[in-house]
Structure formats: structure tokens, C-alpha cells
Structure 1
Amino acid sequence: MNYYMNQIIMTTFSYFDVGQNEPERFYHGFVLGLIADQTDIYEIRSNRESGFARYDVMMIPKIKETKKYPAIIMEFKVRNIKREESLEDTVQTALTQIKEKCYDAELYDRGLKKEEIHHYGFAFEGKKVLIG
């Protein structure tokens, strides 16, 4: 996914697309567009409350075979150069937020187990992206 995202960004996006005006929203919408065709196997939710705050994107498997299709929580972060030294730090900030804000709560309420849920932090800095 890292390779794919970076290839698309480098060949398609302009710096103006991902520049100063809310780049997190731009990337959020872009990723939603990429996963939109997964609606036959996933319920895709965006900016909904779970736990103590709102996650960015959640993909909830529609079929009972959750081991084949895990639930996915995505958190998007633009690198804050005052707090984070690298995109790796920003990925960790996103993953920490998922855990600290208990975004898994909705999935646990639906009967999913911890091992059936994957967390992904997306870190952005201009046209650079890192997913962890």
C-alpha cells in the first residue's frame, strides 16, 4: 500500500492538491475513493464516533468470516514538524490515537476480537506518505 500510494501521489497529484489548505481532508477523501468499491465485503464508515472520539475511517466486514476480512481502522495525520521528527513518528502518533481514544469500541460491541482488527496510521507531509 505504501508503494501504491506514493506512486499515485507522485504521478497524479500536484503539490497544490496536498498543500497548505487542509491536506488531511484531501488524503482522507482520496483513500475513501480508493476503498469505495469494497462495499460488497465491507461497511465503510467515515468520521464516526467510537470510544472517546471520532476515527477517520473504519471498514467493518459484512461477512461472518472475519478472519478472512479483518476490520480496519485508519487514522490520518499530517506531520507536525514541531512535535514529530519524521513520518515514522507521525504514524506512531496516529496509531497511539487509535489506541488511546478506544476507536475499537464499536467493533468490540459488534463481537469482533482484538486479533480481528487491524490499525493503520497514515502520515502525510506534502507529497510524501507513510502507512504503518
Structure 2
Amino acid sequence: MKKEFEYIVIDALSFYDVGGSQSGKNAENVYHAFCLGMFVVARDRGYIVHSNREAGMGRYDVKIVPKSGVGEMAIIIEFKIVHDNKSLNNVAHEGLCQIEKKQYRAGLQDEVKRLLEIGIAFEGKKACVVGHLLHRTEDREWIKSL
């Protein structure tokens, strides 16, 4: 997914769509809408796609959860824009850490046994995707899969 997603951003978005090298807060809205458009196809496969909803101690960007009986995997995605000459990779990891720190996993239905958490950083037409897969134990704890 990482390579394909990064390629799609380069191929489909215009440098001017995202504010060029001066990407600001408005650029996050462009990236968010662009990504939401890509991820909404999951609805055709029995998933529910939520955008900008409260969970835990904050508001996630995108959450994709299975309808009852469809599957056991959910996805939480956090978008970040690079500022102050930080690296794409570091900012993507900040998004990934935010998912855990703000407890965006809260409220996932018990049927969800696997969770893919993804941080995506953008800078102009460049993107970096990082993530990890977790699974839920019988004690309802989330642990990273190997």
C-alpha cells in the first residue's frame, strides 16, 4: 500500500492543488478529501468509512470498520502536513503515535480482532506512509503483530 499510495499522490495531485512548497492547513483538507475519495470504495466491500469523528481523547481523520459479519480488520488513519523542515518519515510517525496517544481505538466493536494503524505525512506532492498491524487478545488488549 505504501508504494502504491505514494505513487498515486505524485501521479494524481497537482503541485498547485496542495499549495506547492508552502503547504498549510488548507492543504490537509485537500489531502483528506483526496484520500477519503480513495478509501470510500471500501463501502462496496462491506465496510463503514468515517471521517473526522471523535474517539478517545480526540478526533481521528479516517476510520474504516467492518459491518457486522463482514470481517475482523479495521483501519485508523491520521494525516499530517510537514512543517518546519521536519522529515516526511518523522511526521508520518507523529501521526501514528497520535492514534495511540489520543486513544482513537476506543469504541471499536468487539468483532474487530485486527487493526491497521496508519500515519501519512504530506509535503507538496510527496507522501510517506507508516503503519503497524495490531491484534486484539482475549483480554481485549491490543498488541503489535510480528
TM (norm. structure 1) is 0.85
Tell me which of 31, 41, 44 is aligned to 1:37: 41
Which of 42, 48, 57 is matched with 1:52 structurally?
57
Q: Secondary structure at the match of 1:15?
A: coil
* Cα shift readout 1:83-125 (whole Å, capped 9, x = no counterpart): x3x1110111001100000000021xx2145x51110001001
Q: Residue 118 of structure 2 aligns with which residue? A: 120
Distance 1:16 1:32 in 2: 19
Query: SS in structure 1 opposite 2:107?
Result: helix
Matched residue, 1:111: 110
Paired positions, count: 125
Please give the secondary structure, in 2, of the residue aligned with 1:96: helix
Larger % of strand: which?
A: 2
Query: Which residue of structure 2 lines up, in the alignment, with residue 130 of structure 1?
Result: 128
Unaligned runs of 5+ in 2: 131-146
| Residue of 72, 92, 104 corresponding to 2:75 | 72
The equivalent of 1:26 in structure 2 is 30
Shift of 1:5: 2.6
Query: 1:91: which partner in 2?
Result: 92
By relative contact order (CA 8 Å, sep 6+), the higher-ranking structure is 1
Which residue type is aligned with residue 114 of structure 2? E
TM-score, normalized by length of structure 2?
0.78
Identity percentage of aligned residues:
38
